[in-house]
Amino acid sequence: MDTSIAKSPVKAFFTKKLPSFFNIICCFLKNNFEVASTKFSRIVGACVAAILMFLVIIDYKAFVSQDYKQKWLLMSFCLILPMIIGVFIAFTLKIKNALIRKFGYFVVFFLMPIFIMTMTECLNRVFIYNMTHLGFLGNYFILLLFLFFVFACCGSLRIAILVVNTLFFGLALAHAYIVSFRGTPFIPMDFLSATTAANVGSTYDYTPTDIIVTGSLLFIFITIFAIKLKAPKFKLLTKVLTRSFMGAFFVVIFLIFYFTDVFAKAGIKPDFWNQTRGYHNYGFVYNFVCNTRYLFMSEPSGYNHKEVPDLVHNLIDSSPEKPNTSNSPNIICIMNESLADLSVLGEFETNEDYMPFMRSLTENTVKGNLYVPVIGAGTSNTEFEFLTGHSTAFLPSGSNAYMLYIKNPIATMVSTLENQGYSSLAFHPYIASGWNRPNVYNNMGFNSFKALENILDIALMNEYKNNNSKPDYLQQLIDEQYPDCSNMLIRQYVSDSYDYKLLIEDFENRDKSVPYFAFNVTMQNHGGYTTEASNFTETIHLTSTSKQYPKTNKYLSLVKESDKAFEELITYFKNIKEPTVICMFGDHHPSIEKDFISEIMGVKDLSNLSVEQEQNRYITPFFIWANYDIEEEYIDKLSANYLSSYVLKVAGVQLTDYNKYLLKLSETLPVIDTVGYIDFENNYYRWSTESKYTQLLQEYEKIQYNNIFDYEHSSTDVFYLPGYSGENIAAEIAKKEKENK
């Protein structure tokens, strides 16, 4: 019997068909693909792989110190990736078949946004499988558009990948560090504060974290891939049509996005009221690019400059007119860098009270909770709100008023006091150029501005920055040149105690024929809480948390020093006969460990807080103290835009109609900030929610727009006292410029 006939069909397939199938695959690969290398390329590949792997190993703590479960998987990936990069360098894949080469080119073009997105989202600490569908598609589409644009310009996919990959790696890397330093995302407006960032950048720790190592390796991988990529030959007509289509497509989308509301109405816009949440849910590229649309201020809907006086008077005329007084006490306002009472976030215990004097201050004192517009950074926006009475909530999200909008003379607390005969000093013990302050203070009408350049030889700061930027080295330079100023610094910044000493000296040397006004922005508590310095001893530490938080301990110890310095300042002015009012407030919360904030707030994710919890992160303390009898008061809720008007009211000086308007508005809406607003009945609202206060807020926005942006039609009778206007400030600026020449 012929047994071959009895074989089953399955057995026949595996014995005859399967080898034939593999033969076909092998023949296909052999006929269409070729792997080539040289001795030099293999040596280079091996060396690059070894160097990259070594760099990952020496930075192993960046991975093992993390709390998430996948840290070992991520570290393993980062140890394997250098070997893959080495293989890509060592070997070149050649595609012999022209049709396959063109198809592969097409596939690479449309898959590349996913690779770049993986890199940028790694630096955003979000992995693409965790992204929302809209976030994934949005990031993919934007990256594809950028590839379209560069390809349309140069006709090379290799160049397009190299340009787009490098651009977004740089932006995403900056985002990773900025989130680490200040706790908030990198937005386009941050480019305008680059000078200020450079001034304090040396104080932060740039040791690569796990995500920075991973993101950098992905960047290198994509870069090597692009360099090795070879373009197939296309007909001239195909090239022209392809580049024309891609260029036209990019232009159409660009025009629709920036000059119409089509995308905005479709919901394609940043999470304005919580940028951190937006970057987490929808990705870095999507949010960063979407934010660029809102860099510039547009006129409020229905705005008419002629209606502004009526909008103001309709509110203030509803209450009995109080006669203007003619008191002229000295007024000192201090915005204290990063001063916050962290207990507003939740309960915790320390070895001793970190602000005992401030808590005990009650006599002749008005104090309470101040709601500021920023967290972790953005000092000048709080400063802007305080001095102008305007709210950054009506400015493009993430914008900075000092860098963008104070281009002309503007009515502020300064002009109100100068019109009543006050001298005016702005004082900040750090580099003057930060936040464009020289120009801004000129436009606000300050008589003088003293900065770090007026305190010490600025060459010492340059030498310090150029030689390792260690606080002890700066202290050594100070000791050598200023031996009598032992308490000038805490870490690398001018201490509050020394700051107030200089403020007192200026007060004692003032022109006593006129009342004195000073606005002082301190520097002692600025971020960079990992830096060690022999001139600062930590005295406060946490005693109730699940683990120790070094940044928080250092920060609370700094607050204790601020508390002592403020007590020294108040003690001095208690013995001054001339009536004096001192206002002191914090500009924002510090950038400390997120885990500490999560622990005391009792939450796992800071990007999904309730509106009440989110508002608590914007609370700093404020104090208005006088060395004479004033009515004591505790104000639980007040936003920074109202505070200067409240100071003027307590001091008993004349108020502009705008001051009166703000005080009246605060009775209904005591808090208006970038998170939302809170009414007098303690109801919390987000800006995305319509309410019975919407019209009132729109009116406030129009009034504010008139003062900031509509310079030619500014309602001087509203913002200035009689006989004074922006022309007075402009004349003073011209006089200063003439004197400087």
Percent pLDDT > 70 in the chain is 92
Nearest-angstrom CA–CA distance, 440 and 715: 20
pLDDT digits (tens, 9 = 90+) for 539-594: 999 999 999 999 999 999 999 999 999 999 999 999 999 999 999 999 999 999 99
DSSP 231: P
For residue 683, what are the contacts with CB-CB under 8 A and spacing of at least 6? Answer: none
Query: Which residue, among 562, 476, 490, has the nearest Cα to 529 in the 3D structure?
Result: 490
Angle at 555 between CA 553 and CA 560, to 5 degrees: 95
**Contact criterion met (CB below 8 Å) for 566 and 584:** yes
User: By C-alpha distance, which of 153, 152, 142, 164 is closest to 246?
Assistant: 152
Tens digits of residue pLDDT in 419-441: 999 999 999 999 888 888 998 99
What is the per-residue pLDDT for 740? 64
Euclidean distance between CA atoms 491 and 26, whole angstroms:
67
The residue count of the chain comes to 741
- Give the residue among 651, 717, 576, 645 at the shortest CA–CA distance from 422: 651
Q: Write down the CATH number for the domain with range 305-740.
A: 3.40.720.10
Task: Look at residues 113, 126, 536, 580 and name the one whose alpha carbon lies nearest to residue 327.
Answer: 580
Where do we find the tokens 């502009």? Answer: 656
- Coil, helix or strand for 92? strand
Q: What pLDDT score was predicted for residue 11?
A: 54
Domain range annotation of the chain: 100-295, 305-740
Band of residue 608 on the pLDDT scale cut at 50, 70, 90 = confident
pLDDT digits (tens, 9 = 90+) for 272-283: 546 777 888 888
Give the Cα separation of 309 and 629 in Å (integer). Answer: 35
Query: Which secondary-structure segment (H or E) carries 686?
Result: strand 684-686
| Residue 516 phi, psi dihedral angles, 5° rounding | -110, 130
Q: How far apart, in whole angstroms, are the C-alpha atoms of residue 403 and residue 240?
A: 43
Nearest to 640 by CA among 378, 409, 255: 378
Percent helix, strand and coil across the chain, each to the nearest 5: 55, 10, 35
Q: What is the pLDDT of residues 275-330, one digit of tens each?
A: 777 888 888 998 888 888 777 778 899 999 999 999 999 998 765 555 556 689 99
pLDDT band at 145 (very low <50, low <70, confident <90, very high): very high
- Closest Cα to residue 665, out of 683, 650, 646, 651? 646
Amino acid at 184: T
The answer to whether the beta carbons of residues 623 and 358 sit under 8 Å apart is: yes
Segment 447-453 long-range contacts (CB within 8 Å, at least 24 positions apart): 447/418, 447/423, 447/732, 448/424, 449/425, 450/425, 450/426, 450/502, 450/506, 451/427, 452/428, 452/494
Q: For residue 438, count other CB atoms closer than 10 A to its CB.
A: 15
* Nearest residue to 280 via CA among 177, 144, 130, 171: 130
Task: Give the pair of three-digit tokens for residue 464.
Answer: 């310090």
Note the pLDDT tens digit of each residue in 146-183. 999 999 999 899 999 999 999 999 999 988 888 887 77
The DSSP letter of residue 305 is: G
Torsion-angle region of 313 (φ positive above 0: left; ψ -120 to 50: alpha; else: beta): alpha
Q: What are phi and psi of 635, to 5 degrees?
A: -110, 115
C-alpha span between 201 and 527 (Å, rounded):
10
The owner of tokens 């727009």 is 705
Say which residues have a Cβ less than 8 Å from residue 94's Cβ, sequence separation at least 6: 33, 34, 35, 36
φ/ψ of 198, rounded to 5, equals -65, -35
For residue 161, the model assigns a pLDDT of 94
Residues 6+ apart with CB under 8 A from 119: 165, 168, 169, 172, 215, 218, 219, 222
SS3 of residue 456 by DSSP: coil
* DSSP β-bridge partners for residue 585: 335, 622
| DSSP 3-state of 44 | helix
- Determine the Cα–Cα distance for residues 708 and 591; give it in Å rounded to an integer: 30
pLDDT, position 531: 85
Identify whether the C-beta of residue 265 lies closer than 8 Å to the C-beta of residue 663.
Answer: no
Q: CB neighbours of 248 closer than 8 A, spacing ≥ 6?
A: none
What lies within 8 Å, CB to CB, of 232 at 6+ separation is 98, 101, 102, 105
Q: How many CA atoms lie within 13 A of 172 on its CB side?
A: 31
What pLDDT shows up at residue 698? 96
Strands, E, within 498-618: which ranges? 516-521, 580-586
Which two tokens mark 29? Answer: 């690969």
pLDDT digits (tens, 9 = 90+) for 503-541: 999 999 999 999 999 999 999 999 889 888 999 999 999
CB of 283 within 8 A of CB of 276?
no
Higher pLDDT, 152 or 105: 152
Task: Report the range out of 207-211, 407-411, 652-656 with the highest average pLDDT.
Answer: 652-656
Kindly list the distances between the CA atom of residue 251 and the CA atoms of 137, 244, 364, in Å, as whole numbers in the listed order: 19, 11, 63
